[in-house]
Structure 1
Amino acid sequence: MLDTISGLRPELNLALGDFSYEAGREQEFCDMVTGKLGGDFPYQVVTGNHESDGHDGDIANIVNCLPNKLPGLTGEYGIQWYADYPERDPLVRFIMVSPGIKFHDGNTLDYSRGSERWLWTAAALDGARSRKIPWTVVGMHTPCLSVGKYDCRAGRDFTNLLIDRKADLVLSGHDHNYQRSHQLGRGQGCPALVPDTFSGGCLAGPDNAMVQGAGTVFATVGTGGVGLYEVNDQDPESPYFAAWSGKNRDAALGTLDVTATADRLSARFVPAADYTFTDSFEIKWK
């Protein structure tokens, strides 16, 4: 996977958690990353559940050996942070958060409605709009919508917050497969997105006409190397999705290559060597 990323020559990479999968091997993981991508490359991290509570590693160790490389970062790197990129005349605000996973004290961080972390996330999204930054990309380990193994670990209310505040793209890991939704929005036909059900009123529009501000695209990209999970096309949430790949269907490891310009946010799934599955989508500035 790192060879695939290196071949794309990106300006940065968002790494959405679950790194070494074994306590004590964090430095080995970091050395592998820097060996492939270079010591100065912005390999920007947020914790997954395997290193959040220390049982399969410790996010503090990952942060120490893969430190932040983006100027102007706000928040706690590795847990909850945002940064505008590029620093001058930014095109994207990257917002990384950690709902739905346990930490060292055995508790999950509070992203419930009205909590401090809820308000922080809302302010980060609103602040991007007030600065007239064209695009907002949210990254977190746990998804909510899924045709894979997990239920809504990120939380229903928090997921609806991201839609309400018009996040353009929400990225997650955790489910070891690829899943990409249509653009989803709330309104008269969709007062709230309800997990484990489908409402056609939440579909903001067809894939070939996605426009900024109309809704949010959710993409789970858990295809970084550990064994893939199956996908279920009979899942009640499946009509929300435009594309998926898993152990039992178009299996592929790969990465999502995202390009931002002032007038469009485009993305394509790039398979690793020996895999063939692809997907692509584009959101145009309104």
Structure 2
Amino acid sequence: MPRSPHRTRMRLAALVFSLTLLLVMTTLGIIPRASSTTTAFSFASAGDTSTLTAGDGLNSLNRLAGSRADFFLGVGDYSYQSSMTGDVWCSQFKAKYSNIEIGPGNHDTGETNDTSGTRSYERYVAGCSFTLSSQVVCGPVAGQCYGKEYYFDYPSVNPIARFIMISPRVFNVTGVCTTTCNAVAKSPCNDTTGCWPYNKNDTHYNWTASAVDSARTTGIKWVVVGMHKVCISAGAESCNIGTNLFNMLVAKKVDLILQGHDHTYERSKQLAFNSACTGFTTNSSYVLYNSSCVVDDGSRGFYTAGGHGFLKYAVSTDRIDIQTDFAGTYQDSFSVVSPTTSLSASFTYSPASPTIGAQVTFTATASGGTSPYSFDWNFGDNSTAQGNPVSHSYTKAGSYNVALTVRDSAAPTPNTQTMTNPVSVSPTPLSLSVSGPSTATTGSPVAFTATASGGTAPYTFAWTATGGSPSSGGGSSFTTTFNAAGTFVVSATVTDANSQTSNASQQIAISAPIPPLSASFTYSPSSPLPVLPVTFTGSATGGTQPYSFTWDFGDGSTATGQSVDHSYLLPGAYTVTLTVTDAGGQTAKAYQTVTVTIL
């Protein structure tokens, strides 16, 4: 494939990334691993391409089409030929591979290749339009979004990565130049030259920082920032994007930085920390990058030198594996993994103030080390349990040292961490109940009983009975007598060994005693004759009304009712019995002899 006088063909977009990665790993002491886990998705990336119809460019594009990458992220400089417009280039690319999302390079905007025409980069934006189902979130400048300054989260549902595409110091990215545009590159980077400098705390710098922060806040695992120009370089370029932007990305621990522009992307040497470095300086917000602290360690890298191609990134929830794919024989692979932090453990329990017999739920939290974790509990009362969460109840009050031991899955020797917290168990709350009759009569002794529970034995009791005799007393039982009718309250107070108190009371209604039931009756006429009716009228006193009346006339006949009539057929003496029954079931009887005569 033909090459431009000073540019190579479809190159990697990753040396700056690998240098940045190594800087972070050197600082944190992370050792890359080559093993992989289940991949959630993959994407490819490259910049500085050329013709797509022959040579390495075509071969690389064909390999990309067979790579099974979910999408391709272009980081600028897609064509170096002024006759090759963006719409044509995109159609050639999409004929082989359709999911391409882009950011601008300086050749694409007309900064360096004398491109004439109005807003030539807009043809790339239109021809390589956004193809994914994820939502595009625009940068701060209206009308300058996809292809220039935007981000998207991937996958669109439950995303694990945020891709932030920015355009630091690419002249004419907004299309202000409409004729020969390479002269603007020598001008200040500002709105007049269609250039965004990403100076510290300017609109574009702050938008980028906010996009990184919001990804972390929402729990998105990986943050990838793509751009064309570089800061760390293995070639002729210097820090084109400015140290303010780069330092901010390093300070916020961006996971991947994808860049193009430099054209010397293969790792030819391993890197090391310069022992002569005086250290990283800081200002009020982040660590400053110092290029003199990163040096060539003199050893050959783990690679086979070769041609040109692209990088494929396999992204999972706990790692990103990167593999190069080249037209020649160059191969290199390395992995980005989450750092393994020290195992730590903590636990909480609920309720915060447990009492005897209450179920206490213990919930553990573990982090660092190697998951999954196992959890062992010692509750401080010779009881143990395993799992998370667990529940336990205590049979005695006191302070117990609860120990949680967490064991991780590190091989060959698991790590353990033990956390101990005191748990104070209180007695159950002191309570009191009073039992006794709810009614009684004047002059009759009434007995009450107090029952205490909870608190701490032994208990003492005090009684109050206003209107009773006696009106106070002690002990768990109390007897008093009320001599007047009315409603009275008998109260008790219990005090436990810890001076806690509880109160209870019983209401009682006192009434006068009921007189005994008595019965009597009269009859008329006083000298009854045979066959003629005799009227019997009963009466009752005492007892509880109402009354019922039952009659036995002495001749085998009976009747009910307070006043009844009866006729005797024969003369003679008959014993009449009246039985009165009150509402309480008491009975009283009255007897009289009735003599029936013949005139």
TM-score between both structures, scaled by the size of structure 1: 0.75
Equivalent residue number for residue 69 of structure 1: 131
**Alpha-carbon RMSD:** 2.8
Equivalent residue number for residue 458 of structure 2: none
Deviation at 1:22, TM superposition (A): 2.6
Equivalent residue number for residue 162 of structure 1: 249
3-state SS of 1:28 partner: helix
Superposed, 1:115-264 pairs within 5 Å as 115-179=202-266, 189-191=279-281, 192-194=287-289, 197-199=291-293, 238=296, 250-264=305-319
Q: Which segment is superposed worse, 101-110 or 11-20?
A: 101-110
Percent of counterpart pairs with the same letter? 28
Amino acid at match of 1:168: D
Could you tell me whether the CA contact under 8 Å between 2:209 and 2:248 is conserved in 1?
A: yes
Matched, 1:34 2:128: no
Equivalent residue number for residue 443 of structure 2: none
Q: In proportion to residue count, which structure has more strand?
A: 2
CA distance, structure 2, for counterparts of residue 64 and residue 269 of structure 1: 29
> Which structure 1 residue ranges, 5 or more long, are not aligned?
201-236
Give the length in aligned residue pairs: 238
Could you tell me whether the CA contact under 8 Å between 2:100 and 2:128 is conserved in 1?
A: yes
Q: Which segment is superposed worse, 174-183 or 56-65?
A: 174-183
Could you tell me whether the CA contact under 8 Å between 1:13 and 1:43 is conserved in 2?
A: yes
Deviation at 1:53, TM superposition (A): 3.4
Deviation at 1:189, TM superposition (A): 4.4
Could you tell me whether the CA contact under 8 Å between 2:234 and 2:264 is conserved in 1?
A: no
CA distance, structure 2, for counterparts of residue 48 and residue 244 of structure 1: 30
Equivalent residue number for residue 109 of structure 2: 52
Q: Which has the higher contact order (CA 8 A, sep 6+)?
A: 1
Could you tell me whether the CA contact under 8 Å between 2:78 and 2:108 is conserved in 1?
A: yes
Amino acid at match of 1:275: T
Cα displacement string for residues 151-202 of structure 1 (whole angstroms, at most 9, x for unaligned residues) = 1111111100101111001010101121569799xxx94234446x3226xx
Matched, 1:279 2:364: no
Could you tell me whether the CA contact under 8 Å between 2:234 and 2:265 is conserved in 1?
A: no
CA distance, structure 2, for counterparts of residue 159 and residue 182 of structure 1: 19
Could you tell me whether the CA contact under 8 Å between 1:20 and 1:56 is conserved in 2?
A: no
Equivalent residue number for residue 232 of structure 1: none
Could you tell me whether the CA contact under 8 Å between 1:146 and 1:179 is conserved in 2?
A: no
CA distance, structure 2, for counterparts of residue 164 and residue 15 of structure 1: 25
TM-score between both structures, scaled by the size of structure 2: 0.37
Amino acid at match of 1:190: F
3-state SS of 1:99 partner: coil
Equivalent residue number for residue 546 of structure 2: none
Deviation at 1:79, TM superposition (A): 0.7
Could you tell me whether the CA contact under 8 Å between 1:271 and 1:278 is conserved in 2?
A: no
Deviation at 1:259, TM superposition (A): 1.1
Cα displacement string for residues 262-284 of structure 1 (whole angstroms, at most 9, x for unaligned residues) = 11111111222x33332322222
Equivalent residue number for residue 196 of structure 2: 109
Deviation at 1:238, TM superposition (A): 4.3
Matched, 1:82 2:139: no
Equivalent residue number for residue 167 of structure 2: 98
Could you tell me whether the CA contact under 8 Å between 2:302 and 2:332 is conserved in 1?
A: no
Amino acid at match of 1:102: F
| Cα separation, partners in 2 of 1:96 and 1:242, compared to 1, 3 Å | farther
CA distance, structure 1, for counterparts of residue 307 and residue 106 of structure 2: 23
Could you tell me whether the CA contact under 8 Å between 1:59 and 1:78 is conserved in 2?
A: no
| Cα separation, partners in 2 of 1:141 and 1:128, compared to 1, 3 Å | same
Amino acid at match of 2:155: P
CA distance, structure 2, for counterparts of residue 84 and residue 30 of structure 1: 23
CA distance, structure 2, for counterparts of residue 42 and residue 278 of structure 1: 25
Deviation at 1:4, TM superposition (A): 1.9
3-state SS of 2:96 partner: helix
Counterpart of 2:74 (choices 15, 19, 26) is: 15
